[in-house]
Structure 1
Amino acid sequence: MIRKALRIRVAALALASLVSVAPVARAQAGAETRDGIAVGGQSTVSRLVSAERLEREAATQYRSLLSEAASQGALAPDGHAQLQRLRRIAARITPHAARFNERAPQWKWEVNLIGSKQVNAFCMPGGKIAFFTGILDTLKLTDDEVGMVMAHEVAHALREHGRERAAKSAIAQGVTIGASILSQWLGYGDLGGMVAQTGAKYTMLKFSRGDETEADLVGMDLAARAGFDPRAGVTLWEKMAAAGKSQPPQWMSTHPAHDTRIEEIRRNLDKVMPLYAKATGRALGSLPPYRSNMGQAVR
């Protein structure tokens, strides 16, 4: 009985050490910025996945997506007014990308617009950006709000959240397999595997919410440096809340609740408003309230 109890304790400690690798790795890194939003260093866990390989795979997927959209007549041509608008906004944001990722100047940035009712946009590793017409048409986004959406998505790529998530998924899979083997060895069937799988699921959701919050904040910094009003992040999420359906409880969701995002944005505005004022050549105290095209105003 003592031997069995010892085996259980050893197994538990081994699993705990594996599960705790990811958060510890990021916590050890120092801040990278001196003004604006300060972030920790890139997660050491992400090194389990090659950045170059992930960027190549992303480029291949992006080409495939564009090809499919073109075959359905859904890919906006170069002369499309909304696509030109997106590319102008991107041209203001991407020069500031190197601040958060030293590889960014080597990326071949691309921006495309796809005809779809999806209220969505993304930036793949390596700077492959796509907007769906649904997010522009449904939310009636101002340039400042588009800047916030784009900078948020670019922040995901710069902070290598996709690379980190891929590495954590591999770790979670290994933990699940290890728990299953240990549980069967100890005579408990696959109980350990089921428990570890459930734990890994909700741990990954937590990491994803953390990624979203970090992308919101880094995106605010990028947008402000590019001359887009970061207060637009508040009206953006007010629009998203009005357009969206009911959300699952925050602890069950891969994204923070809209109110949580707005609160976090407001809490960090004082860090980025000086950047916006500088980018637009105005004194901080002379900035007027931000007012969206839907009537919302943010001071």
Structure 2
Amino acid sequence: MRQTCLRATLAVAISTLALPAAAQEVAVVAAPDDGVRVARNDSRVRMIVPMEVIDQQAAREYEQVKQEAIAKKTLLGDDDPQVQRLREIGIRLLPQTVLWNPRAGRWPWEINVIRANQVNAFCMPGGKMAVYTGLLDDLKLTDDEVAMVMGHEIAHALEEHARQRAAQAEISNLGANVVSQLTGFGNLGNMDIGANAKMLSLRFSRREETEADLIGMDIAARAGYDPRAAITLWRKMGTVLAAGDEFTSTHPSGRSRIAVLEAHMKEVLPLYAAAISMPMEKLPAHRPNMANLGGAPVDAGDEDQQSPLKK
């Protein structure tokens, strides 16, 4: 019942910023006129995989994840404080999503929490999100930092990064000769992508991770969360977690990443100030909740900005 109420609340919240119906039919990512400036890689390769196929695949996988958690008694209930906390943050974040992808206003959003030591979170295409308690507990995240994590994962879905990776998997599977015969990268109709593009196993590229960082920070700032928390979040990732942890292996957290966030901070701080109705010059200093964080390590990453990051 509570999950149904969440969807209804989110639907009302999103409708306040929804674009006109004609604009919502546009099946491409968008960008607001203000806020963060992102150098995107607008590849037509993703067009060979229909959005509907990706959304359906994501919904099936998400339901499987939920059922497995239910069987293990690790899916936190609607009344759990952590679940309520994340859903309240989601209610503030999600109205901002339509500025970056008009389709998001019609997604059946879900936000769940799974009890596990795993330090990870994800948002599948179509708005299917889960956060593991290890991420919340081990890093002692503030609401601002949680908003940065959620914004980052949401941005992957908004930017259709999974669709891009799925399309590239199909190209590898079908071969260049077959793909070259697809006029204008026409989509593959009712193909089965299940064997080639499991949503939770997809690895994004460094460029895609950067896009998610910046767009997620923009979304969170518009929702009234301090974007400076993105810096402390990734410092925590780099100093608290071991190098082999799942989240750090797929979400590199070195100084170069933080430098990019800092370079764009001047674009998102005004959004945050406007959201909390405070003049820029009166914004209070950001105080992280963890002393002696130190500097984040330098991460090597992958040389090819477009290739999936290696685990």
Question: How far apart in 1 are the matches of 2:41 and 2:119?
Answer: 31
Whole-angstrom distance in 2 between the partners of 1:138 and 1:281? 33
Match of 2:291 in 1: 295
Which residue in the other structure is 2:304 paired with?
Answer: none
Q: Which residue of 2 aligns with 1:32?
A: 31
| 1:137 to partner: Cα distance | 0.5
The C-alpha deviation readout for 1:27-66, integer Å capped at 9, x for no partner, is: xx99833211234485322111111111111111111111
Who is 2:268 aligned against? 272
SS of residue paired to 1:131: strand
For 1:170 and 1:30, locate their aligned partners in 2 and report how far apart those are by CA, in whole Å.
Answer: 21
Q: After superposition, give the CA deviation of every residue in 1:95-127 in whole Å (9 maximum; x if it has no partner).
A: 010111111011000000000001100000000
Aligned pairs for 1:46-195 (under 5 A) are 46-173=46-173
1:281 partnered with 2:277: yes
TM value normalised by structure 1: 0.74
Give the corresponding residue for 1:44.
Answer: 44
1:242 and 2:239 are equivalent in the alignment: yes
Q: Which has the higher contact order (CA 8 A, sep 6+)?
A: 2
User: Counterparts of 1:212 and 1:84 in 2: how far apart (Å)?
Assistant: 27
Count of residue pairs brought into register by the alignment: 239
Is contact 2:118-2:132 (8 Å) kept?
yes
Cα root mean square deviation, aligned: 2.5
Query: 1:174–1:130: structure 2 CA closer, same or farther, 3 Å change rule?
Result: same
TM-score for both structures, normalised by structure 2: 0.71
Structure 2 unaligned regions, length at least 5:
1-27, 179-201, 294-311
Q: Is the 8 A contact 2:225 2:272 kept in 1?
A: yes
For 1:223 and 1:230, how far apart are their aligned partners in 2? Answer: 7
The match for 1:218 among 191, 215, 220 is 215
Preserved CA contact (<8 Å) 1:148 1:219: yes
Is the contact between residue 29 and residue 158 of structure 2 (CA under 8 Å) also seen in structure 1?
no
Contact 1:121 1:130 in 2 (8 A): yes
Letter of the structure 1 residue corresponding to residue 32 of structure 2 = T
Assess if the C-alpha contact under 8 Å between 2:124 and 2:157 holds in 1.
yes
Give deviations 1:157-191, integer Å, cap 9, x for gaps: 0000000111122234456899xxxxxxxxxxxxx
> Using a 3 Å threshold, how does the CA distance of structure 1 residues 176 and 116 change in structure 2: closer, same or farther?
farther
Q: Distance in 2 between matches of 1:115 and 1:30?
A: 33
Q: Distance in 2 between matches of 1:254 and 1:85?
A: 25
When residues 254 and 144 of structure 1 are mapped into structure 2, their CA distance, relative to the original with a 3 A threshold, is closer
1:283, 1:164 → 2: CA distance? 40
Corresponding residue number in structure 2 for 1:185: none
- Aligned residue type for 2:229: A
Alignment deviations for residues 246-283 of structure 1 (CA, whole Å, 9 cap, x no partner): 379xxxx7544421211111110001000000000000
Structure 1 counterpart SS, 2:148: helix
Measured in 1, the distance between the counterparts of 2:258 and 2:151 equals: 16
**CA–CA distance in 1 between the matches of 2:170 and 2:217?**
31
Aligned partner of residue 229 in structure 1, secondary structure? coil
Gaps in structure 1 of 5+ consecutive residues: 1-28, 179-203
